[in-house]
Amino acid sequence: MSTQMWNEILEQPAVLESCGRVNEKVLREIVTEVSRRNIQSVIIAARGTSDHAAVYGKYVIEYELGIPVSLAAPSIFTIYKKKLKLPGTLVIGISQSGKAADVLEVLKNAGESGALTVSITNDPNSPLATGAMYHLYCNAGLEKSVAATKTFTAEIFLIAQLVAEWGQNSLFKKELGQLPQNLFKGLDTDAIKMKMERYRFIQECFVLARGINYAVALESALKIQESTYVRAKAYATSDFYHGPFAMIEKDMPVIVYAPDGPSFVDVMQMIKRLKENLVDLIVVSNVNEAIELGNCNFKIPQTSNDLLSPFYNAVIAQMLACELAVIKGLNPDQPRGLKKVTITL
């Protein structure tokens, strides 16, 4: 079964290359304004998949720039009708459609309260794009599948580019420039389809990661939920020890994202403990030590940079969800009860 979701996953190298090129000028303009205003804090507003891009944004900004980042609570503006004091703050609104009413309300109030506002959308004519002081354009083309794939990686790519420009990190800029050509390097899509067959009948699973890849764990669980209706729940491995581990049972599927890098030692400890408890362990990694412990494993390209591995892991996460839906006889392009654009206040 050929699906739109799978086709859009495969478009991602071209999408990243094009959105990087299209936004070069505005990225420089934003950084100039950030410097002029001496920005000291960042708030990011988003929902759904874009909220997981915001989690990546929080980690990458704090890691690279040392600037504290918070995730907005839109209800403060939309339900409680309150104002925040935001001079010296950059407020970023992320929405694939650019029509997220609550995110738009956050940006509107932020601008009125003295903040610098930036939007990231896949529609340059959307309310969010025109309502912010600066707009970063995903330039991903029309995304027809309800499940967001190429727009998610475009969003985190634009955040990473903004951070690289802001921090004048030439090495990070170079690595991001090489990312489109490396995204599917060594990827065996046939193996993914074959390996997912064993999970045809699963009804629940956990998805784990640590650090910057926690954003991918969240997105991976969401993709599984909306595409396959499996009850998937994401945790940071550090949180999973504190109570949730008690839910582990023999043969329960657990997906662990374990890329090489600063988070690997902690994640590896969790993998070993899960193995001792006889779970059905699905490991996504580029480290043989972790891969060898998986009942099922998927290898990503080699990198020890936690800022880059989320892109590789996101592709695997999307493919696993898409293929599992097909194996279950479902259509991931049109999941029940969902629409492409969701409006919340």
Catalytic residues: 339
Sign of the CA dihedral with 104 first, then 109, 112, and 114 last: negative
Contacts with 171 (C-beta within 8 Å, 6 or more apart), sequence order? none
Q: CA Rg, the chain, in Å?
A: 19
Amino acid at residue number 130 = T
**DSSP strand pairing (231-236 vs 204-209):** parallel
Task: State the Cα angle at 159 between 62 and 104, rounded to 5°.
Answer: 105
Identify the residue whose tokens are 């206040």: 345
In the numeric block, the tokens 């493919």 are attached to 319
Structure-derived torsion over alpha carbons of residues 310, 128, 72, 164, reported in degrees to the nearest 10: 40
Length of the chain: 345
Phi first, then psi: what are they for 283, rounded to 5°? -110, 130
Neighbours of 304 (CB within 10 A): 13
